[in-house]
Amino acid sequence: MTHQEDYNLSSDVIEGLTQNGINAIPDLFRVLLNNAMQAERSKYLQANKYERTEERTGHANGYKPKTVKTRLGEITFAIPQVREGGFYPSALEKGMRSERALMIALAEMYVQGVSTRKVKAITEEICGIEITPMQVSRAAAQLDTALQEWRERPLGEIQYLFLDARYEKVREAGQVRDGAVLVASGITPEGERQILGVSVSLSEHETHWKAFLQGLKDRGLRGLKLITSDDHSGLGAARRSVLGSVPWQRCQFHLQQNAGAYVPKQSMRMEVAADIRAMFNAPDRRAAELFLQNAIQKYTLSAPRLSAWMEDNLSEGFTVFDFPLEHHRSIRTTNSLERINKEIRKRTRVVGVFPNEASCLRLISAKLMEISEEWQIGKHYCGNKLLNC
């Protein structure tokens, strides 16, 4: 196959965009990625095409065609080759890790004999071929190395920490169990969001949370001023053990939802919700506590269980009032992690039941790594600097 040497946008591509609009995007994507891979090879060789330098580390050796299934359909790229070997463009890998992880997860189900006919059909449709155990192991090992390096990367100063948990079905010893997926994100003093860590385990909740939080500390997490989370089982004890000196903000969104279990009549729900919102939207802690005391008194007779629950729980959502007003909307809930969990769910629901913990961790890590890369080039989460929080 002959490959063009100049990967600038041709008049044909530009004309195609003019005439066909989004239908020409696959060809545009091919040209742009080919350009990026060519530039990456030049950087790797420390020399441009036909350039003679003392720093040159190897020699270009043409191109090799590779057809990749993407969201835009099948696209054939020209992969730059190096005569001495050892080079593969990261530009082709970026943005495709979760697709690879999904294929491996599905393939594992098929290979280990725990998949259905539907899963087998999906696997063959996505991968294009029937996958052998050796191919699965080789692909998984390559991907796992990159994902592990990302999960274990050093951390720095994080002022606001968000924690959340979700559950995925994982097969162990012939039984399907709930595997806890713990995710941590944070906001830096500069207002930048980061995904800090992820862990999957079938172990007891407190033990899992404690190991997860200790792992964040061991990787250099420091400067914490607030932890925001729901009242997950085991998290409280683990948090007090590992990060006991850091104030805790209970997620206001989940508190509002939890209150519904204690409302005795459907007709009271809107009124109760309005009373709780008034507390959370109060201008300061003093006003919030006043709203709370009034609500406790208000429902003492008509909803005694609700009144008692309010007294025991709602003040845990007031810690945010000790922080700058302009940061309240960003730090009073774990809604940012809830949105991430929705993205994860889009991937994991295709698998259904993971064949093991490693498969589950691989797929979720790959998706989180992509989200993290998108955040790095996005806008700051908090408009103002957080250094003086």
**Residue 137: per-residue pLDDT:** 67
Q: Regarding predicted confidence, which is higher, 297 or 147?
A: 297
Question: Does residue 377 register a pLDDT over 80?
Answer: no
**In this prediction, what percent of the chain has a pLDDT beyond 70?**
75
Quick: pLDDT tens for 28-50.
667 767 777 888 888 888 877 76
Q: How many whole angstroms separate alpha carbon 251 and alpha carbon 231?
A: 8
Q: Are 182 and 208 in contact (CB under 8 A)?
A: yes
Q: Are 382 and 191 in contact (CB under 8 A)?
A: yes
Q: Regarding predicted confidence, which is higher, 88 or 267?
A: 267
Closest of 209, 215, 213 to residue 231, by C-alpha: 209
- Residue 11's φ and ψ, nearest 5 degrees, are -65, -30
**Residue 57: per-residue pLDDT:** 73
Q: Regarding predicted confidence, which is higher, 235 or 86?
A: 235
**Confidence category of residue 11, pLDDT binned at 50, 70, 90:** low
Question: Does residue 358 register a pLDDT over 70?
Answer: yes
**Residue 351: per-residue pLDDT:** 81
Radius of gyration for the alpha carbons in the chain, expressed in angstroms and rounded:
26
Helix or strand run (H / E) with residue 77: strand 73-82
Helix or strand run (H / E) with residue 208: helix 205-218
**Residue 43: per-residue pLDDT:** 82
Q: Are 103 and 126 in contact (CB under 8 A)?
A: yes
Q: Are 123 and 359 in contact (CB under 8 A)?
A: no
Number of H helices, E strands in the chain: 15, 8
Question: Does residue 102 register a pLDDT over 50?
Answer: yes
**Confidence category of residue 6, pLDDT binned at 50, 70, 90:** very low
Handedness of CA 119, 124, 126, 129 (dihedral sign): positive
Q: What is the set of domains in the chain, with CATH numbers?
A: 11-89 (no CATH), 95-250+341-389 (3.30.420.10), 252-332 (no CATH)
Q: Are 41 and 82 in contact (CB under 8 A)?
A: yes
Q: What is the dihedral of CA 121, 122, 126, 130, to 10 degrees?
A: -40
**Tokens linked to 280:** 């959370």
Who contacts 117 (Cβ-Cβ below 8 Å, separation ≥6)?
Answer: none
- Among 72-76, 246-250, 384-388, the range scoring the smallest mean pLDDT is 384-388
Question: Does residue 13 register a pLDDT over 80?
Answer: no
- Among 32-41, 58-67, 308-317, 337-346, the range scoring the smallest mean pLDDT is 32-41
What is the mean pLDDT of the segment spanning 66-93?
Answer: 75
- Among 23-27, 108-112, 372-376, the range scoring the smallest mean pLDDT is 108-112
**Residue 58: per-residue pLDDT:** 78
Q: How many residues does the chain have?
A: 389
Burial 1-10 (b: 16+ CB within 10 A, else e): eeeeeebeee
Distances 272 to 63, 268, 277, 319 between C-alpha atoms, Å:
66, 6, 9, 21
Q: How many whole angstroms separate alpha carbon 363 and alpha carbon 170?
A: 13
**Residue 177: per-residue pLDDT:** 92
Q: How many whole angstroms separate alpha carbon 374 and alpha carbon 20?
A: 28
Q: What is the dihedral of CA 376, 379, 380, 381, to 10 degrees?
A: -100
Q: Are 355 and 159 in contact (CB under 8 A)?
A: no
What is the mean pLDDT of the segment spanning 228-256?
Answer: 94
**Residue 103: per-residue pLDDT:** 64
**Confidence category of residue 386, pLDDT binned at 50, 70, 90:** very low
Closest of 266, 322, 314 to residue 289, by C-alpha: 314
The mean pLDDT value of the chain amounts to 81
Quick: pLDDT tens for 216-225.
999 999 999 9
Who contacts 11 (Cβ-Cβ below 8 Å, separation ≥6)?
Answer: none
**Residue 37: per-residue pLDDT:** 80
Q: Regarding predicted confidence, which is higher, 387 or 330?
A: 330
**Confidence category of residue 135, pLDDT binned at 50, 70, 90:** low
Read off the DSSP letter of residue 343. Answer: H
Quick: pLDDT tens for 269-321.
999 999 999 999 999 999 999 999 999 999 999 999 999 999 999 999 999 99
